[in-house]
């Protein structure tokens, strides 16, 4: 970042000239979309995705009136309509919206990173975000998480744009509208409003400290805030169901206070180190700016990125975020930005003569374990835990979740199709009924296999194990008179889905 000797780390002026910011962003967007679209057929359907797909099929009016944010289902519905025309399967069509959101997020990340830390950061920051099992998995399923991440980053960048100079009010309005859209994706995004408010207060304080010499500076935050709030409220008007839903979607469920700690176990260790270093670097720069009491145009950026990252992390404790490791996903782009800048800055400072080589070596060492882990975990990205947790086995020993909600059963469908007796009735505890219906519609389940209402009516039980209660599985033992699974999905020896069969129902 160009301040006080923080020269942007770039390969060479000639290379900078060759790759413009737009081209870099476009390249990231295209690569992200292509990779996500290609891989989207593999993962099973988690419970939240099943619910979202069911809502997406309910129509726009029911989306707006429902008690959960409507943007995710609306995006999935629109993607389904477009994908079906292209001849894609239902599942791939619904998931296409996530690929689009992922492409937008990559482009924004590349642009933002290039702006704050040079072209090399534009290359590195999206890689720091994507090359981990859980972030990659978020791009492969139709949940609102990635749309939220893209909209949060867009809102913060718009806010930065609006607050960086004397911009017209509509720029703040754009930031507010994007914030409103982020809340329409997932209600816990309201914590981002808190971050923007704190940032506005901070730049107000800085402006007052610099004295009356800066024209209009003290009034700017108030103007910004009012414009942003107005536009956020206008966008939120598209969700009248929020009023009926009460406080449920906005406040945390019981026991959510420890949710941010999942980050320590969910992100590969080297990425965690880079993120922590980025956060520490930004905080150190902020502390330096506060101590020096001099006008520092970059302190505002540091404060904004740190606040946005912390808002997302805090949101998992303060707001009604999904369970497991998904709540803070929209904070990771900010951490990736800070981490990329810190890595490049560290390489430049540690070995100025060989900064490019050192930066490349560090990037490789930080990214490769994540790539390897994502490759090994695919398509069960939500079963992956980092080295501190001891991977899936260590996480299972500590009682951490084995999956988000039944998606591991997707890997059993081929075996069930091959081995289930004709006309077998299957009970699916822990797996969303909408997911089962979608598997059947997509032809992933044999048409003669029927869904059983309970264990007593079933010939087979396909049980998803998420690390929580296993009462349904034990009921299947009783009903099917066996505790011996006929087939299973294991992630590093940890079972995530099992099939139990009545004698004669499994060939």
Partner 1 sequence: MGVLAREVEALRDTLRGWADTARRLWIGRPGAARTAAIVFAAGAAIAGLAALLVQVRLPGRLPAPRDWAALRVLVERDARPGDAVALSPAWAERARGILPSSVTVLAHGRWEGEDLLGVRRVWLVSLPRAPGFSWRAESDLLQRAARPGIPARLGAIEVTRLELAFPAIPLAFLPDRVAQAKDPAEGAVREVREVAGIPRPCLVVGGGGAPLTLPLSFEPVLVGRLVRGHLGAVGTAGLRAPVRVAVRVDGEEAGAAEVSGAGFVPFQIDTTRFASRVRHLSMVLTLPGGEGQLCLDAATLP
Contacts to partner 1 by CB under 8 A: 268-270, 272-274, 277, 281, 284, 342-343, 345-350, 358, 361-362, 364-366, 368-369, 372-373, 376, 386-387, 389-391, 393-398, 469-471, 474-475, 477-478, 482-488, 490, 492-495
Q: Is 36 exposed, middle or buried (0-12, 13-18, 19+ CB in 10 A)?
A: buried
Least distance in angstroms from the C-beta of 131 to partner 1: 12
Give all strands (DSSP E) within 438-501, no chain letters: 450-451, 460-464, 487-491, 494-501
Listed in sequence order, the residues at least 6 apart from 38 whose beta carbon sits closer than 8 Å to its beta carbon are: none
Q: DSSP string of 269-282?
A: HHHHHHHHHHHHHH
Give the nearer residue to partner 1 in terms of CB position, either 170 or 474.
474
Nearer to partner 1, 105 or 499 (CB): 499
- The edge-to-edge listing of strands for the beta sheet with 425-427 is 450-451, 425-427, 460-464, 494-501, 487-491
Task: Quote the least distance from Cβ 248 to partner 1, whole Å.
Answer: 22
The 3-class secondary structure across 179-192, one letter per residue, is HHHHHHHCHHHHHH
Closest CB to partner 1 among residues 223, 470: 470
CB–CB of 105/149 below 8 Å?
Answer: yes
Indicate the residue among 84 and 482 with the shorter CB distance to partner 1. 482
CA distances, 7 to each of 277, 346, 352 (Å)? 18, 12, 11
CA angle 162, 118, 296 (to 5 degrees): 50
DSSP state of 295: -
Alpha-carbon torsion (348, 353, 357, 361), positive or negative: negative
Residue (37 or 460) nearer to partner 1, CB: 460
Q: Least Å distance between CB 18 and partner 1?
A: 27
CB of 406 to partner 1, least distance (A): 18
Smallest separation (angstroms) from partner 1 to the CB of 284: 8
Could you give the dihedral angle defined by the CA atoms of residues 354, 108, 201 and 179, in that order, rounded to the nearest 10 degrees?
A: -160
The set of residues, in sequence order, having a beta carbon less than 8 Å from that of 50 and lying 6+ positions away, is 405, 406, 431, 432, 433, 434, 435, 438
Closer residue to partner 1, CB minimum distance, 58 or 467: 467
DSSP 464: E
Helices 332-350 and 90-117 sit at what angle, rounded to 10 degrees? 40
Distance, CA of 106 to CA of 111 (rounded, Å): 9
Burial of residue 394, with CB atoms counted within 10 A of its CB: 0-12 exposed, 13-18 middle, 19 or more buried:
middle
Minimum distance, C-beta of residue 89 to partner 1, in the bound complex (Å): 31
Closest C-alpha to 222, from 210, 237, 239, 205: 205
Closest CA to 13 of 115, 165, 119, 172: 119
CB closer to partner 1 out of 183 and 366? 366
* Least spacing, CB of residue 359 vs partner 1, in Å: 9
Q: How far is the CB of 124 from partner 1 (least distance, A)?
A: 12
Q: Which is nearer to partner 1, 230 or 477 (CB)?
A: 477
Residue 252 gets which letter from DSSP? P
Residues 296, 289 contacting (CB under 8 angstroms): yes
Q: How far is the CB of 393 from partner 1 (least distance, A)?
A: 5
Q: Which residue's CB is nearer to partner 1, number 230 or number 490? A: 490
> From the CB of 382, what's the least distance to partner 1, in Å?
16
Nearer to partner 1, 443 or 454 (CB): 454
CB of 31 to partner 1, least distance (A): 23
Q: Are 196 and 179 in contact (CB under 8 A)?
A: yes
* 127 vs 362, beta carbon nearer partner 1: 362
Distance, in Å, from the CA atom of 304 to the CA atom of 300, rounded to the nearest integer, reads 6
For residue 256, the minimal CB distance to partner 1 (Å) is 19
Minimum Å distance from CB 461 to partner 1? 13
How many angstroms separate the CA atoms of 117 and 344, rounded?
8
Q: Of the two residues 279 and 313, which places its CB atom closer to partner 1 in the complex?
A: 279
CA–CA gap between residue 215 and residue 213 (Å, rounded): 6
| Residue (of 62, 91, 68, 70) closest to 79 by Cα position | 91
Nearer to partner 1, 41 or 488 (CB): 488
């Amino acid at each position: 970042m160009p301040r006080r000797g923080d020269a942007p780390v770039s390969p060479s002026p000639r290379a900078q000239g060759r790759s413009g910011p737009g081209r870099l962003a476009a390249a990231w967007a295209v690569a992200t979309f292509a990779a996500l679209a290609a891989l989207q057929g593999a993962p099973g359907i988690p419970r939240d995705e099943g619910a979202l797909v069911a809502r997406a099929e309910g129509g726009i009016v029911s989306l707006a009136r429902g008690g959960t944010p409507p943007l995710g289902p609306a995006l999935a519905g629109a993607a389904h309509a477009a994908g079906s025309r292209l001849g894609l399967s239902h599942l791939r069509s619904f998931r296409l919206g996530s690929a689009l959101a992922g492409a937008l997020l990559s482009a924004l990340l590349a642009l933002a990173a290039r702006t704050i830390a040079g072209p090399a950061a534009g290359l590195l920051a999206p890689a720091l975000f994507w090359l981990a099992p859980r972030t990659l998995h978020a791009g492969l399923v139709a949940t609102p998480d990635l749309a939220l991440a893209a909209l949060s980053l867009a809102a913060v960048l718009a806010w930065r744009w609006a607050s960086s100079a004397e911009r017209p009010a509509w720029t703040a309005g754009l930031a507010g509208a994007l914030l409103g859209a982020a809340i329409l994706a997932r209600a816990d995004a309201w914590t981002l409003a808190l971050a923007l408010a704190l940032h506005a207060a901070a730049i107000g304080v800085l402006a007052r400290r610099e004295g009356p010499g800066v024209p209009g500076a003290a009034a700017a935050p108030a103007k910004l805030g009012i414009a942003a709030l107005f536009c956020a409220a206008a966008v939120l008007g598209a969700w009248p169901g929020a009023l009926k839903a009460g406080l449920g979607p906005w406040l945390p469920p019981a026991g959510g206070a420890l949710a941010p700690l999942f980050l320590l176990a969910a992100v590969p260790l080297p990425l965690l180190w880079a993120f922590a270093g980025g956060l520490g670097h930004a905080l150190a720069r902020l502390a330096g700016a506060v101590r020096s009491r001099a006008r520092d145009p970059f302190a505002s950026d540091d404060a904004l990125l740190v606040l946005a990252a912390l808002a997302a992390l805090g949101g998992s404790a303060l707001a009604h975020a999904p369970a497991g490791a998904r709540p803070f996903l929209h904070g990771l782009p900010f951490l990736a930005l800070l981490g990329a800048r810190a890595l490049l800055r560290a390489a430049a400072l540690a070995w100025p003569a060989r900064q490019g080589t050192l930066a490349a070596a560090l990037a490789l060492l930080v990214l490769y374990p994540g790539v390897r882990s994502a490759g090994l975990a695919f398509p069960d990205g939500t079963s992956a835990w980092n080295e501190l947790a001891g991977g899936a086995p260590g996480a299972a020993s500590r009682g951490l979740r084995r999956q988000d909600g039944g998606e591991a059963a997707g890997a059993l469908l081929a075996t069930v199709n091959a081995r289930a007796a004709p006309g077998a009735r299957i009970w699916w505890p822990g797996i969303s009924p909408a997911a089962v219906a979608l598997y059947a519609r997509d032809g992933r389940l044999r048409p003669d296999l029927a869904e059983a209402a309970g264990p007593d009516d079933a010939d087979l039980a396909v049980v998803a194990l998420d690390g929580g209660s296993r009462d349904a599985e034990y009921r299947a033992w009783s009903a099917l008179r066996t505790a011996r699974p006929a087939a299973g999905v294991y992630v590093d020896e940890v079972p995530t889905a099992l099939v139990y069969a009545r004698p004669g129902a499994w060939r």
